[in-house]
Amino acid sequence: MIQLDVNGKQQQLDVTPDTPLLWALRDTLHLTGTKYGCGEALCGACTVLVDGAPMRSCSVPVSAVAGRKITTIETVDKHRVGKAVQEAWRTLDVVQCGYCQSGQIMSAVALLSRNRKPSDSDIDNAMSGNLCRCATYVRIRAAIHEAAKALV
């Protein structure tokens, strides 16, 4: 049994220690907002926050995050920064197909949690591991700036 703190709830999971966090979230806990993209931690679709830092859940075993605070897209809007990011995403109509957006939002939340006035360069660096096949990068950057303004 592995014990995880997911979205503020202690969860006992009957999975092997090497089970990728992504599959524990999706298949065991039925938290399907975190997406499977590439399976190699290259696209960012599976991004969750672990102790506030973005992490690619497809490549990290559950044993590596036991005892750490895991936040998924399902509850990110319960926090001030998450609400601001999601509102900016809606206001600026960022989403096209939407598949990558939970990972994009989680990375944006991590950035704005540590830097409330990011430059374009800060945003590009923080978001560089998140790919968007629809190429909404300009709107993503604008939404992060919009959310930052709402947080001051």
- How confident is the model over 119-134, as a mean pLDDT? 96
Per-residue pLDDT, 152: 87
Q: What is the mean pLDDT of the chain?
A: 96
Look at the block and give the residue holding tokens 């907002």: 33
What is the arithmetic mean of pLDDT over 72-84? 96
Strand partners, 50: 53, 70
pLDDT in tens, 19-74: 999 999 999 999 999 999 999 999 999 999 999 999 999 999 999 999 999 999 99
CATH 3.10.20.30 range(s) for the chain read 2-71
Query: What would the CATH number be for the domain defined by 2-71?
Result: 3.10.20.30
Work out the end-to-end distance of the chain between its first and last CA atoms, rounded to an integer number of angstroms: 43
Residues of the chain with CATH 1.10.150.120: 76-151
H helices of the chain, in order, are 21-23, 62-65, 80-91, 101-114, 120-127, 137-151
Question: What pLDDT shows up at residue 38?
Answer: 94
- For domain 76-151, say whether CATH 2.60.120.860 is its number: no
